[in-house]
């Protein structure tokens, strides 16, 4: 049996009955083998290598089963690489078969037809797993390994290359049965923790991607149990019936994402929500890595805008007594949030008046977005005066306790006449001394805890479902 015949037999043994291809001289012996076994595997001849690869990708996505294509090396590989990269991004089980120049001349730069430098290295950067077939006896094992790799950990494509003089090489071949796919261990503790969070959530949201197509019944059952809307997009469409009242489209899902307190992603990278819509944690991290006093500190770490914002909130909460609403508290906590969205402008505060109208329009638009996202009320004159007093008191205390300015220097150089506090409004914090700047990770977590405590309850599951229907109707 030749290497080409061994590969055909191995593909057939793994359930493949079609191969998409553009023949070329480098793979002639392989196509001869396909012709001799046409009753087993059908060859679909495309007009371009990209078409072969995309047809294999489409078949893999439609069936969920491994699909294969074959093209020549060099330009054939490069022409098909767009589809192969898409298969990687979509976790599709596509097997690419590439030809090669004569085996003994690989890497010697003799300028053979379609020779490309380090083809194996290029392939390895496009797929989960790749190898070169060097003999007929190795072919069954490598095909089995390639197909197994498509379903291990992160699913995705694999590739095999074979030299022009190896496809027709005869030899003894022992068939290799399909290799078992290792089952990833289930973290029982993580499952229990997730179930606990979902059970306690007031506004859960499920995001279903193409990886959940085989779990449609389970997703629907969980959604109905939690009364959680299910957002699906592109390949996730169909995981839950569009006629189900819990099914929501992308625009509606965007709105629900903003108010969700727990999101469960099933079979999805969450690209759109995480990269475009953002999370509260993104804002918290930004604020925790934006520093006051131009990053100057008498301590080991600079003081973050997060810690300053929490100090202002603590001062306002103490002075307001019981007459402080959750919305007013959020307004205090987020009063410097545009600093994070602008990438840390606080160190150049003196320059802000000189940056022009464009900068100030940008700040206004960001503030408007924050007001809408977090339902922040507008300032009235009395509330703003109370806020600015707390803001200035926090700044004076930071200048003295964190930046290390003396009282005289504060008055003469900074024009700060308000007396700094003695006691830290945020103390005690375990492991930290009063007025000690927190590390970004700790500051981020404290910010999120504070935000969660003052975020309004937007209704029980029945109310949320009714809201979902009302939005869909409009």
The string of pLDDT tens digits covering residues 248-306 is 988 888 888 877 888 899 988 887 787 667 777 777 777 787 888 778 899 999 999 89
How does DSSP assign 360-412, residue by residue?
Answer: HHHHHHHHHHHHHHHTPPPPPHHHHHHHHHHHHHHHHHHHHHTS---HHHHHH
For residue 264, the cross-strand partners are 206
What's the rounded Cα separation, in Å, for the pair 402 and 301?
Answer: 9
Whether 309 has a pLDDT exceeding 50, the answer reads: yes
pLDDT digits (tens, 9 = 90+) for 430-443: 899 999 999 988 99
- For 77, 101, 145, 327, 406, the CA distances from 105, given in Å and listed in that order, are 18, 7, 26, 72, 75
Side-chain-facing half-sphere of 318: CA atoms under 13 Å: 10
pLDDT digits (tens, 9 = 90+) for 74-110: 999 999 999 999 999 888 999 999 999 998 888 888 8
Q: Which residues contact 327 (CB under 8 A, 6 or more apart)?
A: 375, 376, 377, 456
Q: With beta carbons less than 8 A apart as the criterion, state whether 222 and 228 touch.
A: yes
Give the pLDDT mean for 313-333: 87
Q: With beta carbons less than 8 A apart as the criterion, state whether 112 and 102 touch.
A: yes
The encoded tokens of residue 472 equal 């869909």
CB atoms within 10 A of CB 363: 17
Whether 457 has a pLDDT exceeding 60, the answer reads: no
Whether 470 has a pLDDT exceeding 70, the answer reads: no
pLDDT digits (tens, 9 = 90+) for 208-221: 988 888 899 999 99
What's the rounded Cα separation, in Å, for the pair 77 and 69?
Answer: 11
Give the pLDDT mean for 406-434: 90
Backbone angles phi, psi at 100, to 5 degrees: -150, 165
Closest CA to 168 of 49, 48, 33: 33
pTM: 0.62
CB atoms within 10 A of CB 103: 14
Whether 472 has a pLDDT exceeding 80, the answer reads: no
pLDDT digits (tens, 9 = 90+) for 116-146: 998 999 999 999 899 999 999 999 999 999 9
The encoded tokens of residue 68 equal 């294969």
**449-456: long-range pairs with CB below 8 Å, 24+:** 450/310, 450/313, 450/333, 451/280, 451/284, 451/330, 451/333, 452/261, 454/326, 454/329, 454/330, 454/333, 455/261, 455/326, 455/330, 456/326, 456/327, 456/375
pLDDT at 251: 84
Closest CA to 375 of 456, 311, 434, 437: 456
More confident residue, 90 or 68: 68
What's the rounded Cα separation, in Å, for the pair 68 and 79?
Answer: 16
Chain centre distance of CA 471: 27
pLDDT at 57: 96
Q: Determine what percent of the chain falls in helix, strand and coil, rounding each to the nearest 5.
A: 50, 10, 35
Q: Which residues contact 195 (CB under 8 A, 6 or more apart)?
A: none
Q: Which residues contact 121 (CB under 8 A, 6 or more apart)?
A: none
Q: Which residues contact 192 (CB under 8 A, 6 or more apart)?
A: none
The encoded tokens of residue 243 equal 């006629």
Give percent above pLDDT 90 in the chain. Answer: 52
For the domain bounded by 190-276, which CATH number is listed? 3.40.50.1220
What's the rounded Cα separation, in Å, for the pair 230 and 45?
Answer: 41
Whether 456 has a pLDDT exceeding 70, the answer reads: no
Whether 422 has a pLDDT exceeding 90, the answer reads: yes
Give the pLDDT mean for 396-413: 90
Q: With beta carbons less than 8 A apart as the criterion, state whether 336 and 360 touch.
A: no
For the domain bounded by 280-453, which CATH number is listed? 1.10.3210.10
Minimum mean pLDDT among 58-62, 81-85, 448-452: which range?
Answer: 448-452
SS3 281: helix
pLDDT at 341: 66
More confident residue, 263 or 355: 263
Topology, domain 3-163: Rossmann fold (3.40.50)
Phi-psi region at 152: left, alpha or beta (left = phi > 0; alpha = psi -120 to 50) = beta
Averaged pLDDT of the chain:
87
pLDDT at 461: 43
pLDDT digits (tens, 9 = 90+) for 186-211: 889 889 988 998 988 888 999 998 88
Which residue spans of the chain are classified as CATH 3.40.50.1220?
Answer: 190-276
Q: How open is the CA angle 183-185-191, to the nearest 5 degrees?
A: 125
| Local confidence band at 462 (pLDDT 50, 70, 90 cut-offs) | very low
pLDDT at 283: 73
Which residue spans of the chain are classified as CATH 1.10.3210.10?
Answer: 280-453
Q: How open is the CA angle 109-113-119, to the nearest 5 degrees?
A: 60
Which residue spans of the chain are classified as CATH 3.40.50.970?
Answer: 3-163
The encoded tokens of residue 103 equal 């085996």
Give percent above pLDDT 70 in the chain. Answer: 92
| Local confidence band at 354 (pLDDT 50, 70, 90 cut-offs) | low
Whether 402 has a pLDDT exceeding 90, the answer reads: yes
């Amino acid at each position: 049996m030749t290497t080409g015949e061994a590969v055909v037999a191995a593909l057939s043994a793994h359930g493949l009955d079609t191969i998409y291809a553009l023949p070329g001289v480098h793979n002639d012996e392989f196509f001869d083998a396909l012709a001799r076994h046409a009753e087993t595997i059908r060859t679909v001849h495309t007009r371009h290598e990209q078409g072969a690869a995309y047809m294999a990708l489409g078949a893999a996505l439609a069936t969920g089963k491994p699909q294969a294509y074959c093209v020549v090396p060099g330009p054939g590989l490069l022409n098909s690489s767009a589809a192969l990269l898409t298969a990687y991004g979509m976790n599709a089980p596509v097997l690419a078969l590439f030809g090669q120049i004569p085996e003994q001349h690989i890497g010697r730069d003799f300028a053979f037809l379609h020779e490309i430098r380090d083809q194996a290295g290029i392939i390895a950067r496009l797929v989960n797993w790749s190898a070169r077939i060097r003999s007929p006896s190795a072919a069954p094992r490598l095909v089995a390994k390639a197909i197994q790799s498509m379903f291990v950990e992160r699913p995705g494509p694999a590739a095999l290359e074979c030299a022009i003089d190896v496809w027709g090489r005869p030899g003894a071949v022992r068939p290799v049965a399909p290799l078992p796919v290792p089952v990833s261990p289930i973290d029982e503790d993580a499952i229990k923790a997730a179930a606990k969070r979902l059970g306690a959530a007031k506004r859960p949201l499920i995001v279903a991607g193409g990886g959940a197509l085989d779990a449609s019944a389970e997703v629907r059952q969980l959604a109905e149990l939690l009364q959680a809307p299910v957002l699906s997009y592109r390949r996730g469409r169909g995981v839950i019936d569009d006629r189900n009242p819990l099914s929501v489209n992308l625009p509606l899902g965007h709105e629900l994402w903003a108010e969700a307190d727990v999101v469960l992603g099933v079979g999805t990278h969450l690209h759109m929500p995480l990269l475009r819509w953002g999370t509260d944690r993104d804002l918290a991290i930004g604020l925790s890595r934006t520093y006051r006093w131009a990053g100057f500190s008498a301590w080991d770490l600079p003081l973050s805008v997060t810690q300053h914002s929490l100090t202002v909130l603590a001062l306002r909460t103490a002075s307001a007594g019981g007459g402080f609403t959750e919305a007013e508290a959020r307004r205090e906590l987020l009063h410097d949030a545009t600093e994070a969205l602008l990438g840390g402008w606080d160190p150049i505060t003196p320059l802000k008046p000189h940056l022009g109208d464009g900068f100030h329009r940008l700040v206004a638009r960001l503030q408007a977005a924050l007001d809408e996202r977090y339902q922040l009320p507008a300032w009235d004159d009395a509330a703003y005066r109370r806020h600015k007093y707390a803001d200035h008191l926090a700044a004076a205390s930071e200048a003295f306790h964190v930046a290390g300015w003396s009282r005289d220097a504060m008055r003469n150089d900074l024009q700060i006449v308000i007396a700094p506090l003695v006691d830290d409004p945020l103390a005690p914090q375990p492991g930290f001394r009063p007025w000690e700047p927190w590390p970004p990770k700790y500051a981020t977590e404290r910010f999120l805890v504070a935000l969660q405590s003052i975020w309004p309850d937007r209704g029980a599951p029945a109310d949320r479902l009714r809201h979902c229907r009302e939005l869909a109707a409009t």
